Each structure stands twice: as structure tokens, then as C-alpha cells.
Amino acid sequence: MRRASTLASFNVLSRSLATVHGGAAATSASPSHGLLQVALYGTSSTTGSHVRRRWFDSFSGGPAGKLAIGVAGTLASVAVASSLTQEVYAKEPPPAELVPKDVVLYQYEACPFCNKVKAFLDYHDIPYKIVEVNPLSKKEIKWSDYKKVPILMVDGEQLVDSSAIIDKLNDKIVPERVAAPSSNDEEKKWRQWVDNHLVHMLSPNIYRNTSEALESFDYITSNGNFSYTEKFTVKYAGAAAMYFVSKKLKKKYNITDERASLYEAAETWVNALDGRDFLGGSKPNMADLAVFGVLRPIRYLRSGKDMVEHTRIGEWYSRMERAVGESARIKA
């Protein structure tokens, strides 16, 4: 994991000082650099540098010169402060020799457990192929005795159950993983919370009413493996069915207010961070990836937008989006 280093700040400052003192022309085209050049010379052109330097030397002694230097100093300070506050997160790919050669995920696009696995794969930049399973026929997984998703094939080995898949993958790509026992305990606790609590908040929210149920199934059928006829049938029949299923889930998990329960879960997670960028500290751990994964399918549905608007989870989610980065999926 990498953050924007203070070296970047020193580079900005040194380029600014080089300009002030008539040093070598900097090649950066950053806005802060351009502003410094304008403040001092009125142009960013390297032509006539000797004339500009002589002009600056004669100008700097007067009140206007002092003002220009003050402006330049302020701009340099702003540039340094800006670069210090910019956070750049990066993926954590394993050593090349540990990357599996053939990874295939059998999934439903909107499945939170499948998205947990994808978040892990994406963050570690492990290339994988997708086989979208038709939830009606499940013909794509008829070869397997396990009739649920996700199923992950890793170099010919079948892995099932999202948390078990992630554990086994983690052992494969980070065999010498070292962490403090307390850190492991915290990570384990919150991964269990994701599986035993957070995921149960999703269906009652995304199928809260008929319009949200239709929105969800429009997303599912647009991304899933359906024929034209199946899309129409699944969208309306599925939305109606899941609307009633969500009511049963509300009762089962003692949910009286769907949104309030989702917001409470989001705030519980933010409280667990305790001011850290991630539960893992300066970089995500497997609990961060699990929470991010199960929330990713709803983030831009009505329920996810409401969650970000009414809780403090948005900043953490944005950091996770930057850390996880682009999908490692291999497009057919």
C-alpha cells in the first residue's frame, strides 16, 4: 500500500524554488507549478529566461517584488499542503510466482457473496474469468455437486463458500502472512459480522417496495445470463417474489425499519474503524474487503445511495474503491 509521499511535496517545493531563483526550467505541467510561474514571470515559456531573471532581480527589491515573492511563497505552501493531503491507494498483487494461472468464478452478478470474492480478486489483481449462472436453470453448474454460487475454480481445484474461498486463496497467495493476534481476532470478528448480520440487511432494503424491487431486478437482468424472454419474466416475477421474501426476512431478523437497520449497520462499521482509514490500518484487510464486496452491488441502487447520504460510510467506501481499483476480470 502506498500513500502520496512527502517526496512529492518536496518536488513541488523544489520546482517552485528553482523557478524563483532562476534555476533549470521544470517540465511539470501541474496547475500549482503554472501558477507559481505566472506569479513570478507572467509566462510559462522558457524563451528569454535570462531576461526574466534580470527582470526579477531588479523587481524583487521593491514593494511589488516583495508581494510577488509572498504570493509565490503562499502558492508553494498550498501546493505542499495539497500534495500531503492527497491519498493514493494501490492494489496489493501477490508475487508473480504465486498468482494462480487459471481462475474462473461461477456467479450471479448481484450476489453479495460472489462480490466478496471479486473484491478479494480485484484488490490482489488476480486475473479471473466469469461464468454467469442462470438462476432459473443453473445449467452452467450442473457439472458440480455444489448447487450454489459462488464456485471458484483455481487451477482445476473447486472452491466453494465465499469466506472459505477467500481463506484458501489468501493461504495460496500470502503463505507467510504475519499479523498480530489481536489484529487477526478483530478481522475474524468483523468478517463473521458481515456474514451473520450485514448481508441480512440487504434484501429487505433493495426489495423494500415494488419500485426498488424492480430497480434491483432491472440491474440483475441487465447484467445476468438471461434470454430476452427470461429477462422479462425474471424482472417482474422475480421482483414480486423477492418483495414478499424480503418481508419474511424482516420478520426473521427482527427488522422493523429497513433503512434504519441498514444505516445502523453502516454506522457500526464506521465506529469499528475508530478513525483508521481501514480496519486493517493503512491498507484494507479481509474484513474491509468483505464489507466492501457485499455493499458494492447496492452502492448505486436507491438503498445504497440513501446509505451513503445518511451515514458516515461514504468516505471509507470511496477509499475502498480507490484501493480495490479496476476489476481484474478477463473479458471474453
Average pLDDT of every residue of the chain: 78
Task: Count the domains in the chain.
Answer: 1
Give CA–CA dist 212/286, Å, rounded: 30
Q: Rounded to the nearest 5 degrees, what angle is found at the Cα of 313, between the Cα atoms of 273 and 161? A: 75
C-alpha of 99 from chain center: 21
Find where cell 436453470 sits. 137
Residue 71 within any structural domain of the chain:
no
Q: What is the mean pLDDT of residues 145-153?
A: 97
Type of residue found at 224: G
Q: Residue 244 has what pLDDT? A: 86
pLDDT in the model for residue 236? 82
CA gap 150, 255 in Å, rounded = 27
Q: How many residues does the chain have?
A: 332
CATH number at residue 263: 1.20.1050.10
Cα separation of 131 and 125, whole Å? 18
Chain segment 178-237, per-residue pLDDT in tens: 545 556 899 999 999 999 999 999 999 998 888 888 888 888 778 777 788 878 877 887
235 falls within a domain: yes
Q: In which band, very low, low, confident or very high, does the pLDDT at 38 lie, cut at 50, 70 and 90?
A: very low
Match 510561474 to its residue by C-alpha cell: 37
In a domain, 3, yes or no: no
SS3 of residue 126 by DSSP: coil
65 within domain boundaries: no
130 found inside a domain: yes
Residue 23 located in a structural domain: no
pLDDT reading at 31 higher than 80: no
160-175 pLDDT tens trace: 999 999 999 999 887 6
Please indicate whether residue 140 or residue 221 has the higher confidence score (pLDDT). Answer: 140
The string of pLDDT tens digits covering residues 238-285 is: 778 888 888 888 899 999 999 999 999 999 999 999 999 999 999 999
pLDDT tier at 3, thresholds 50, 70, 90 = very low
Task: Tell me which residues are annotated as active site.
Answer: 108, 111, 113-114
The confidence band for 86, taking pLDDT boundaries of 50, 70 and 90, is: very low
Q: Is residue 78 part of a domain?
A: no
- In this structure, is residue 64 part of a structural domain? no
Confidence tier at 135 by pLDDT (50, 70, 90): confident
285: containing domain: 103-324
Average pLDDT over residues 36-61: 39
Q: Produce one character per residue of 162-201: b if its CB has 16 or more CB atoms within 10 Å, e if not.
A: bbebbebbeebbeeeeeeeeeeeebbeebbebbbeebbbb
